[in-house]
């Protein structure tokens, strides 16, 4: 149960999965993950937690079209927010093409701004794509870069060659593989980690005082192979969505 009378609900819809976070204002209390093929009942979920709640606020972010059933249920919440290019943000967005900017990247930057305000922050999101997202000490989001994610790298090597198999991600890869599968894992995981390390090092040349944060579904597979000092945060997107929600309250 919540000690205070306010509950925040953050929903992040990705390409294949939806993550839902329950917050007691700014404190993340519960995280639930659903396959996108499964229908989610917001009413049922909230009913488990709201016996002492007098106010419910909610935010939703989606990389795909929001399912109609979920959109209709979401709109029944009095204080609800759908993250888009026009949403008021707790930082200055200097991205040139705001309409094409992924909402997950906005959430990651918002989380960094909440955790480390008025500091240089590089947030690396490891999902379908690996994204680098930089906010400076003036709380200005300058942009970053987009790189192929791990599964995308394995799929590309399979698709654009005649004989290389499609391998599944594993929790460990040897630097020197001794068969085709382990060679592919080494190339995908070690290649991505060295790419990330190189990018971090280049950022540090320009911004010596900088926090580096890594998050996302594949972060755990990469963090152990990185040499640079980083902070690993799970559920960073949900934390950022909640920060945006509170900022708009």
| Enzyme catalytic residues | 104
Number of Cβ within a 10 Å radius of residue 191: 13
pLDDT per residue as tens digits for the range 107-139: 999 999 999 999 999 999 999 999 999 999 999
Which residues lie across from 18 on neighbouring strands?
Answer: 13, 34
Does residue 164 surpass a pLDDT of 70?
yes
83, 140, 91, 150: CA torsion to nearest 10: 40
Q: What domains sit in the chain, N to C, each tagged with a CATH number? A: 1-82 (3.30.420.40), 85-249 (3.30.420.40)
- The residue assigned the tokens 């926090």 is 211
pLDDT per residue as tens digits for the range 32-85: 999 998 888 888 888 877 555 568 899 999 988 999 999 999 988 989 999 999
Range 216-219 contact pairs with CB under 8 angstroms and sequence separation of 24 or more: 216/124, 216/125, 216/126, 216/127, 216/130, 217/126, 217/127, 218/126, 218/127, 218/130, 218/149, 218/150, 218/151, 218/169, 219/124, 219/126
pLDDT per residue as tens digits for the range 48-63: 775 555 688 999 999 8
14 confidence band (pLDDT: 50, 70, 90): confident
pLDDT at position 51: 54
Span 159-163, average pLDDT = 96
- The CB-side HSE value for 16 (13 A sphere, CA atoms) comes to 3
Q: What percent of the chain has pLDDT over 70?
A: 96
Write out the E strands in 14-78: 17-24, 27-35, 55-62
Q: Specify whether the CB–CB gap between 79 and 56 falls below 8 A.
A: yes
pLDDT at position 52: 58
- The Cα–Cα gap between 26 and 99 comes to 28
Give the chain's mean pLDDT.
92
Does residue 18 surpass a pLDDT of 90?
yes
pTM attached to this predicted model: 0.91
């Amino acid at each position: 149960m919540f000690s205070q009378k306010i509950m925040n609900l953050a929903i992040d819809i990705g390409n294949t999965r939806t993550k839902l976070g329950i917050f007691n204002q700014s404190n993340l209390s519960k995280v639930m993950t659903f396959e996108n093929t499964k229908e989610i009942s917001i009413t049922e979920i909230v009913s488990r937690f709201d016996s002492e709640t007098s106010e419910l606020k909610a935010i939703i972010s989606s990389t795909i079209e929001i399912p109609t059933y979920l959109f209709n249920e979401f709109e029944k919440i009095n204080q609800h927010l759908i993250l888009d290019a026009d949403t008021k943000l707790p930082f200055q967005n200097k991205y040139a093409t705001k309409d094409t900017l992924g909402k997950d990247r906005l959430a990651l930057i918002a989380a960094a701004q909440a955790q480390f305000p008025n500091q240089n922050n590089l947030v690396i999101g490891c999902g379908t794509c690996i994204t680098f997202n930089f906010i400076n000490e003036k709380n200005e989001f300058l942009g970053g870069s987009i790189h192929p994610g791990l599964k995308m790298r394995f799929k590309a090597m399979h698709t654009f060659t005649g004989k290389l198999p499609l391998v599944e991600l594993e929790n460990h890869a040897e630097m020197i593989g001794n068969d085709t599968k382990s060679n592919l894992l080494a190339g995908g995981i070690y290649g991505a980690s060295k790419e990330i390390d190189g990018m971090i090092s280049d950022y540090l040349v320009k911004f010596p005082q900088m926090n580096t944060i890594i998050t996302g579904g594949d972060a755990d597979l990469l963090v152990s192979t990185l040499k640079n000092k980083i902070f690993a945060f799970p559920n960073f997107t949900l934390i950022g969505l909640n920060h945006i929600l509170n900022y708009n309250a």
